Structure 1
Amino acid sequence: MEIRKHPLTGEYILVSPHRLGRPWQPEGTCPFCPGAPETGFGWDVLLLPNKYPVVTREPPTPGGEELYEALPARGLSLVVVETPRHDVDDISDLPTEQIEKVLKLLIETQKKAEEDPAARYFLYFRNKGREIGVSLTHPHSQIYILPVVPPRVEAELRASEEWYRRRGTCLHCLITAREEKRVVYQNASWKSFVPYYARWPHEVHIYPKRHVTHLTHLRRDEIRDLADALRKTLCTLKTALSKPMPYILVLHQAPLRQETPHYHLHFEIYGMYRPDGRLKYAAGAELGASLYTLDTTPEEVAERLKTALSQCP
């Protein structure tokens, strides 16, 4: 287990061969249901150590080779079990109050992570759908507490900092304020929209209307409104086509303990079905050249999701 760095792109590779042993969509007993050996009873939301981690408290020293850089895979890999219920297809089927409990648990966990000087980034993400390789279908999400900042976030930090230096404004705030044409849903604190620069067939971003750098800086009303925005936005993905959509949800925020007047947190959701219901694969142009191709337009997707919103409670 180690973190290897790509010498040409700066990307990090989390090398974790032991993960081959994790269960893959097993039939029968669910390890996340109440009463399982790891879970017990009497909980609403549960935080568990990942049994097949990519980073750990006491990682082995990387071997390393001349020319290449490798880092110890130091950190934490955690699983958030979002509900005791196994019969729920998605967290959009949960009450807003339950999603709020999940968010509060994330915030508590991030506050603890901030106390560790070796922890640089709190990465929260959610994979939904067997079609994209989810190994366990009980509603859950994951946390990686990392010793490095993800390159995608680093790129966003650089671009937004350059804009701020030249113009004195936060680019994220401008996008949030001006994005109306492709809005899917909004409430008092949050706005979800299909970005002009969407890369995936049903991509939606959720931004706070106030400049906020970290999840831990959200007010109580903003946490409640975020739960509502997540539930409504994810519901549109479930109802937009003739079948529920697999998706990936990722939280982008500033590195731990770092204040950024030029960058603030947001959620990115990548709905993976094309408009015709077929799964979108990252192929030659995407993986080989980072040139994403869309079979639709972000404007058409926004209209489709806004129509689907009428079917969401």
Structure 2
Amino acid sequence: MLFRKSKSVVEMRELRYNPLTGQWVMVSAVRRKRPWRPKNFCPFCPGEEETGYGWEVLLLPNRFPMLSFDAPRPERGGFYRKARALGQCSVIVETPEHDVKDLDGLSLDAMTRVVELWKNITAELKKNPGIAYVSIFRNKGEEIGVSLTHPHGQLYAMPFIPLKVRLKIENSRSHFRRTGECLFCRILREEMEGERAIYENRSFAVFLPFFANWPFEIHIYPKRHVQWLTQLAEEELMDLADALRTATGTLNTVLERDMPYTMMVYQAPFKGSYDFYHLHIEFYPILRDNGKIKYAAGIEMGTWDFTYDGVPEENAEKLRKACRKVVKRIDAKGRCFT
């Protein structure tokens, strides 16, 4: 029998539950229509239909969303669970300037405006009873699959808590019950006393973690125990902007080329109490050397357990050397570790 695509299939948007892993899979037929690096046109530049003029940082609705507040209700029945793909997918246009290559190319004031937007949209979405978690992330580089090169990040406001976040919550809760301390605070203390520390300012620390998956993986932790961006004071937002500029500049210097990466901001979920949790940011750079990609292949894809191609402490030393160059170039507010 020939299967014909109805309009409902073409526009399908729903959540599908994986009973083996406990994950929700976001299904959206609309995503197939995304443009791929259009020539002579950028929808995020000033003066375009969605952007207009007179802005410094901009939050736009994603035109090809995985999640939407008007998502249809899926059909019921059968063995597998489905749910409405309720939520919000947004694009965070970080600057009007098209040719800025990364966050280290923004001024401190411009980067501060970006993290202020992160804070403000988090505060707004926390009020929505249908949202359980907000993911703020950034993809950079053609190797990652970025379809538009204008500097931008993304936001997914989700009706569920992602599996990786649930695992972090479970482990940090267990550690707190055993020891009475925040697991993240303990990790921060361990890393800043060791040879994997890279940079710090008044409020934030940057390091390559003991348990890194990616060769030049970088984490950013606030020194103060907070769960959400909404808890950061004005001076802490500026320090976060400084740490992000320094971290991306370091990644773009360590191999003397632009580093493709994915960045994720991890906050606590919106529903429930998470005093044991800790706001943090993780960068997953995919190069292990210049021109050599660290592929998440057989063992990583099959087991979710990573192999590390090298020695973390040696790569941390390379990052520290790169950091020292970057601190001078961007006039960073903190200090690199030696």
After the TM superposition, which segments of 4 or more aligned residues of structure 1 sit over 2 Å from their partners? none
Pick the aligned partner of 1:28 from 7, 16, 40.
40
In the TM superposition, residue 257 of structure 1 has moved relative to its aligned partner by 4.7
1:265 paired to 2:282: no
TM-score (norm. length: structure 1): 0.98
Spell out the pairing of 1:164-175 with structure 2 (5 A cutoff).
164-175=176-187
Spell out the pairing of 1:147-226 with structure 2 (5 A cutoff).
147-180=159-192, 181-226=195-240
- Partner Cα separation in structure 1 for residue 257 and residue 176 of structure 2: 42
1:113 paired to 2:125: yes
Q: Closer, same or farther in 2 for the Cα pair 1:307/1:57, shift >3 Å?
A: same
Q: Closer, same or farther in 2 for the Cα pair 1:311/1:65, shift >3 Å?
A: farther
Pick the aligned partner of 1:279 from 290, 293, 299.
293
TM-score (norm. length: structure 2): 0.91
The residue that corresponds to 1:291 in the other structure is: 305
The residue that corresponds to 2:152 in the other structure is: 140
Q: Which moved more, 1:204-213 or 1:267-276?
A: 267-276
1:9 paired to 2:21: yes
Q: What is the one-letter code of the residue matched to 1:131?
A: E
- Partner Cα separation in structure 2 for residue 83 and residue 259 of structure 1: 35
The residue that corresponds to 2:61 in the other structure is: 49
- Partner Cα separation in structure 2 for residue 259 and residue 224 of structure 1: 27
Q: Secondary structure at the match of 2:154?
A: strand
Contact 1:215–1:265, Cα closer than 8 Å, also in 2:
yes
In the TM superposition, residue 276 of structure 1 has moved relative to its aligned partner by 4.3
The residue that corresponds to 2:8 in the other structure is: none
Contact 1:241–1:277, Cα closer than 8 Å, also in 2:
no
Q: What is the one-letter code of the residue matched to 1:305?
A: L
Contiguous gaps of at least 5 residues in structure 1 = none
Give aligned-pair identity as a percent.
45
The residue that corresponds to 1:85 in the other structure is: 97
In the TM superposition, residue 261 of structure 1 has moved relative to its aligned partner by 2.1
Deviation per CA, 1:21-46: give whole Å up to 9, x if none.
Answer: 11011111100000111101000001
Deviation per CA, 1:153-210: give whole Å up to 9, x if none.
Answer: 0000000101111111111111112213201111110001000000012101100011
Contiguous gaps of at least 5 residues in structure 2 = 1-12, 330-338
Q: What is the one-letter code of the residue matched to 1:30?
A: C
- Partner Cα separation in structure 2 for residue 211 and residue 218 of structure 1: 10
Q: Secondary structure at the match of 1:131?
A: coil
1:301 paired to 2:312: no
1:227 paired to 2:241: yes
Pick the aligned partner of 2:87 from 60, 75, 84.
75
In the TM superposition, residue 68 of structure 1 has moved relative to its aligned partner by 1.1
Q: Secondary structure at the match of 1:123?
A: strand
Deviation per CA, 1:86-119: give whole Å up to 9, x if none.
Answer: 0111111111111100111111111110111111
Pick the aligned partner of 2:140 from 117, 123, 128.
128
How many residues align? The count is 313
Contact 2:196–2:209, Cα closer than 8 Å, also in 1:
yes
1:102 paired to 2:143: no
Q: Secondary structure at the match of 1:14?
A: strand
Q: Which moved more, 1:257-266 or 1:185-194?
A: 257-266
Q: Secondary structure at the match of 2:293?
A: coil
In the TM superposition, residue 305 of structure 1 has moved relative to its aligned partner by 0.7
The residue that corresponds to 2:7 in the other structure is: none
In the TM superposition, residue 221 of structure 1 has moved relative to its aligned partner by 1.2
Q: Secondary structure at the match of 2:143?
A: helix
